[in-house]
Amino acid sequence: MSYSPSTDADRARMLRTIGVDSIDDLFVDIPDAHRDPALDLPEALPEVDVLRLVRGLADQNQVPEGVPSFLGAGFYRHFVPALVDQQLLRSEWYTGYTPYQAEMTQGTLQSMYEFQSLVCRLTGMEVANASLYDGATALAEAVLMCRAITRRPGVVMAGTVHPAYREVAATYTQAVGVDIRTVNGWSRSDAGVAPDVAAVAAAIDDTTACVVLQRPDFFGWVVDPTPVVEAAERHGAKVVYVVTDPISLGLLTPPGDLGADVVAGELRSLVGPPAYGGPGAGMLATRKAFIRRLPGRIAGRTTDLDGQQGFVLTLQTREQHIRRERATSNITTNQALVALGAAISISALGPGGVRGLATRSLSAAHRCAAALKGVGATVFDAAPYFHEFILHAPRGGEATVEALAAHGVFGGYPLGRVEPALDDALLVCATDLTTRADVEALTNAWQAIHRG
């Protein structure tokens, strides 16, 4: 029942060795009044029955297989090679612990080193850690890093950064004196919605520890960040980029070539479907100069006593188990298995595959926008975008999403949920997994709900 192999005979033998009469004798330190509470829990279920129970819950949920989905907004679906999950199901990967005994965990340590190296190549940065919880906490840690590096209190946060990421950054910094100033970074007019990079650049001053931009940003836009980077340079502020879809790096100029000091991102889309938001994996990459400010685990390459190549956890004096209250962060458990999956995925896809998924996503989104225009919809596409765009929803974003869902399509994310000024707009995403039939279902549903 509890997966314990012990028989009553085994237990009796162990009790004799210990020198006590019963298992109850091992729990005498628990206060009498509170020992052995009656728990209101259901009965045990054998494997088949528990599977039946959980499958019953799973079957109540709708999936893109049955309902074409144009949802993105920070959580993306891409093709993932079959070998990735085959690997993640290997016991030697998923039932191991943090590699504290290096000689017994060389596989995990080398894969971490390869992961870090691949993240650096994707982002154009010099060093990366071995993962954080998710993209949102990676941003929070990036902000804390920049505060520690610059000893300045201010953060200029573009309003085009994912709203949930901004909220998490606010939670993480509330107690330690960081002043986050959110600057819209976009403007609304009758003609639509357009980026406003100059407003972000103008908010940077000599108290700014860092400025945070997202690429592509929450609205899907790919904007030239040069004015912001130049302003940051003038004021000695660091530049942080958020990347919510690593596949975008297959096509877009990497943050390392755009003045990035820190890159914080989410890797989930390389490993599998959104899984209702987790587990994903946060990535954090920076310049070599700031390596000792990185939170979390880092694997390093070294040699053993025979001069043979080997790998270790390195720079551990940054971490909580050594440094305690002076650590760079409290993180210990990270998202190692998801990070491993990302490394395997990138390796299996190769440059052609990663770029291929990026260009197919870009094509799908632009063809989808064109198809919507073809049935009379308005797309706010004054700014260049990658695989996500803003669709005007004259009947209101929430109402439109509801009506589209009634026609069997998850049509997009209603932007009014986070920006009241955009309550007549949807964020629509298409990727390499979007089919012609999906787009047809969307345009048909759109026409149906706008007829008459």
Partner 1 sequence: MPGRRSIVASEPLIFELASPGRPGVRPPLAQFDDVEPASVLPEGQIRESLDLPEVSEIDVMRHFVRLSQRNHSIDTAIYPLGSCTMKYNPKINEVTARLPGLLEPHPYQPETSVQGLLALIHDLEAVLGEIAGFATVTTQPAAGSQGEMVGLLCIQAWLRSRGERRTTVLVPDSAHGTNPATATMTGMRVEPLGTAADGNIDLAELDAKLNDDVAALMLTLPTTLGLFEQRILEVTRRVHAAGGQVYGDGANMNAMLGRVRPGDLGIDVMHLNLHKTFTTPHGGGGPGAGALGVQAHLAPFLPGPNIVKNGSGYALEPAGPDSIGRVHSHVGNVGNLVRGYTYIRSLGRDGMREVADDAVLHANYLRARLAPHYDIPYDRICMHEVVLAGTRQRSLGVRTTDIAKRLIDYGVHPPTVYFPLIVDEALMIEPTETESIESLDQFAEAMISVAHEAKTAPDLLHAAPSAAPVRRLDEVTANRSPDVNWINAD
> Is there binding between residue 308 and partner 1 (CB under 8 A)?
yes
Q: What is the 3-state secondary structure (H, E, C) of 123-141?
A: HCCCEECCCECCHHHHHHH
Distance, in Å, from the CA atom of 322 to the CA atom of 41, rounded to the nearest integer, reads 40
Q: What is the DSSP-derived secondary structure letter of residue 209?
A: E
Stretch that binds partner 1, among 151-159, 196-204, 230-238, 342-350 (CB under 8 A): 342-350
Give the residue, chosen from 231, 232, 267, 336, that forms a contact with partner 1 under the rule CB under 8 A.
336
Nearer to partner 1, 164 or 262 (CB): 164
Q: What is the DSSP-derived secondary structure letter of residue 421?
A: G
Which class for 26: exposed (0-12), middle (13-18), buried (19 or more C-beta within 10 A)? exposed
> Is there binding between residue 3 and partner 1 (CB under 8 A)?
yes
Tokens, residue 26: 């091992």
Of 248-277, binders to partner 1 (CB under 8 A) are: 249-254, 257, 266, 272-277
> Is there binding between residue 151 and partner 1 (CB under 8 A)?
no
Cβ 103 vs Cβ 111: under 8 Å? no
* Of 386, 399, 387, residue with least CA distance to 426: 399
> Is there binding between residue 25 and partner 1 (CB under 8 A)?
yes
Nearer to partner 1, 194 or 315 (CB): 315
Of 204-243, binders to partner 1 (CB under 8 A) are: 222-224
Number of residues this chain uses to bind partner 1 (CB under 8 A): 214
Of 82-111, binders to partner 1 (CB under 8 A) are: 83, 85-87, 89-108, 110-111
Of 54-73, binders to partner 1 (CB under 8 A) are: 54-65, 67, 69, 71, 73
Of 314-333, binders to partner 1 (CB under 8 A) are: 314-317, 319-327, 329-333
Give the residue, chosen from 156, 161, 165, 240, that forms a contact with partner 1 under the rule CB under 8 A.
165
Give the residue, chosen from 183, 297, 424, 449, that forms a contact with partner 1 under the rule CB under 8 A.
297
Can you tell me which residue has the tokens 């399509």?
Answer: 409
Stretch that binds partner 1, among 53-61, 148-156, 183-191, 372-380 (CB under 8 A): 53-61
> Is there binding between residue 402 and partner 1 (CB under 8 A)?
yes
Of 130-149, binders to partner 1 (CB under 8 A) are: 130-131, 133-137
Stretch that binds partner 1, among 196-204, 206-214, 228-236, 361-369 (CB under 8 A): 361-369
> Is there binding between residue 180 and partner 1 (CB under 8 A)?
no
Distance, in Å, from the CA atom of 430 to the CA atom of 17, rounded to the nearest integer, reads 65
Give the residue, chosen from 192, 259, 300, 396, that forms a contact with partner 1 under the rule CB under 8 A.
300
Distance, in Å, from the CA atom of 418 to the CA atom of 409, rounded to the nearest integer, reads 22
Stretch that binds partner 1, among 39-47, 146-154, 372-380, 441-449 (CB under 8 A): 39-47
* Of 53, 132, 69, residue with least CA distance to 434: 69
Q: 263 forms bridges with which residues in the sheet?
A: 241, 285
Of 188-207, binders to partner 1 (CB under 8 A) are: none
Tokens, residue 286: 């920076």
Nearer to partner 1, 152 or 318 (CB): 318
Output 186-192 pairs: Cβ under 8 A, ≥24 positions apart.
186/159, 186/160, 186/219, 188/421, 188/422, 191/382, 192/378, 192/380, 192/381, 192/382, 192/390, 192/392
